[in-house]
Amino acid sequence: MSKLLYRITVTAMLFGLVGLFAIACQQPEDEVFRIGVMESLTGPGETYGTVINQSKEMAVAEINAAGGIDGKQLELIVEDSKCGAQDAITAYNKLTDVDGVKIILGTSCSGAMLGAAPLAEEDGVVLFSASATSPDIEDAGDYIFRTAINDAQLGVDAGNAMWADGVRTLATINESTDYAEGVQKTSTEQFVKLGGTVVAEEKYSSDVTDFRTQLTKLFAENPDAVLLAAQSEFTGGTIVKQARELGFNGTFYSEVVPTGTTALEIAGDSATGLKAIIPSPDLETQKGKEFLDNFRTRYGYVTLPWFIGSAYDTVHIAAQCLEQTGDDQDADGFRDCLYNITWSGTIGDGYTFDAKGEVVGLSNAVVEVLPLTERTEENNGYKVLGPAPIQ
């Protein structure tokens, strides 16, 4: 019996392989521009990787509905890079080798980006991310671009904002991930440089759900404010909620994650008054508002508006550059196009890329979370207080 089943399994595997042949041997049509996409569709970065991918699919659908690029359709080949170097490398090699793409939009996570970047740099393939924020990517290479704002900038802005609000003693709590830790590190460095004191630091790993002990330790030092840097909305929201339950009355400062839809839902009214330093002007442009409306119509929800807007912009920038070069195999032309482009999209007007492939012309703003009753779908639950102060 088991022998028979084994044979069936083996036969199924054989058929699978024959199927692979058939698919792989299909000749790609010349009438389309093909570019790759690598996002974390599974794994720890799934929540943002998936919506970012949806945003890109939407942008492509719009471009193609409007007649494509010079009459040619744009086609995305999506691969899952999870959130780590190994899967980024296999996904990268599959895209460049099997599909023969020279331009890849992605990845979601900095870890995946840093894994694929050396290969892309060597092969001359453009990697263009909408959401990888690690400071390490700055020096990753000539072909590496991103619309995401470097964490280092976010940290400086957060430090300045806290100092300008009169915060002098600070306690920090952050998730042990590259993003959250980077924000915590750069923010406190700036804060200390301005003369502030960090009285307590706590770190937690991503699977923790009870933060009361760590929070109690922070509050024992009587800080003016608490800086919260989270990677997942769940932990961000939970920390705010549990801190208020413990009777903390000071101000929370955070990066963008605790202002996400899920985080605000978890925190409820506890989040009121939380100040966050987030990329600005948070889709305040006309294009940004239209984009959010369209996204909501298409998918029924909106989350992390800046990042999905950023992803949407990367596709449109890619379309513009493909129109200029007229060849999806011309990575060098595409790279030069990115260096020279000035783009007005959903996340800001007139932004450019500098010699390191970092975005220039986008800045962070300070927002304050509104009381529960005033939160609506349109205002995302917070009001913009203004651009981040400069010291």
Partner 1 sequence: MLTRPPSWQRLSELARNPLQAFALSRNNVELWANLLIITFAVVFMLWKGATFAVTLGTVFAIWAMLSVSLNLVVGFTGLLSIGHIGFFGVGAYTVAILTSTTAYENLRTGAIPTFGWPFFAALPVAAIAAGLVALLVGIAFNRFRDDIYVLVSFGFAIISFNVFLNLRGITRGAFGIHDVARPQIGSWVFDTELELMLMAMALMVIVVGISWFIVSSSFGRVLTAIREDEQVAEVFGYHASHYKLAVWVISAMMAGVAGGMFSSWTTFIDPNSFILLESVLLVSIVILGGLATIWGSLLGALAFVLLEEGMRFLPFLPQEYVGQARQVVLGILLVLLMVFRPQGLVGRYKL
CB of 245 to partner 1, least distance (A): 27
Distance CA(195)–CA(193), nearest Å, equals: 5
Kindly give, in sequence order, each residue whose CB lies less than 8 Å from that of residue 48, ignoring residues fewer than 6 positions away: 40, 108, 131, 304, 307
Nearer of residues 27 and 249 to partner 1, judged by Cβ: 27
Residue with tokens 């009285």: 199
CB neighbours of residue 345 within 10 Å: 23
Element (DSSP H or E) covering residue 317: helix 305-325
Beta bridge partners of 252: 226
Query: Would you say 108 or 272 has its CB closer to partner 1?
Result: 108
Q: Which lies closer to partner 1 via its Cβ, residue 6 or residue 301?
A: 6
CB of 386 to partner 1, least distance (A): 26
CB-based contact 292:313 (threshold 8 Å): no
Residues at the interface with partner 1 (CB under 8 A): 2, 5-7, 9-11, 13-14, 16-21, 23-25, 39, 41-42, 44, 50, 53-54, 57, 76-80, 83-86, 89-91, 93-94, 96-98, 111, 114-115, 118, 122, 134-136, 138-139, 152, 176-178, 180-182, 185-186, 189, 203, 205
Q: What is the largest CA-CA distance in the chain?
A: 76
Phi, psi angles (nearest 5°) of residue 286: -60, -45
CB 127 → partner 1: shortest distance, Å? Answer: 13
**Distance in Å, CB of 136 to partner 1, minimum:** 5
Please, are residues 225 and 251 in contact by the beta-carbon 8 Å criterion? yes
CB closer to partner 1 out of 15 and 377? 15
Q: Which is nearer to partner 1, 93 or 344 (CB)?
A: 93
- The DSSP call for residue 258 is G
Nearer to partner 1, 86 or 391 (CB): 86
**DSSP letter at 27?**
P
Q: Which is nearer to partner 1, 13 or 220 (CB)?
A: 13
What is the rounded distance in angstroms from the CA atom of residue 364 to the CA atom of residue 351?
Answer: 13
Whole-angstrom distance, CA of residue 311 vs CA of residue 54: 9
Give min distance, CB of 114 to partner 1, in A: 5
Q: How far is the CB of 297 from partner 1 (least distance, A)?
A: 17
CB of 346 to partner 1, least distance (A): 21
Element at 382 (helix H, strand E)? strand 382-387
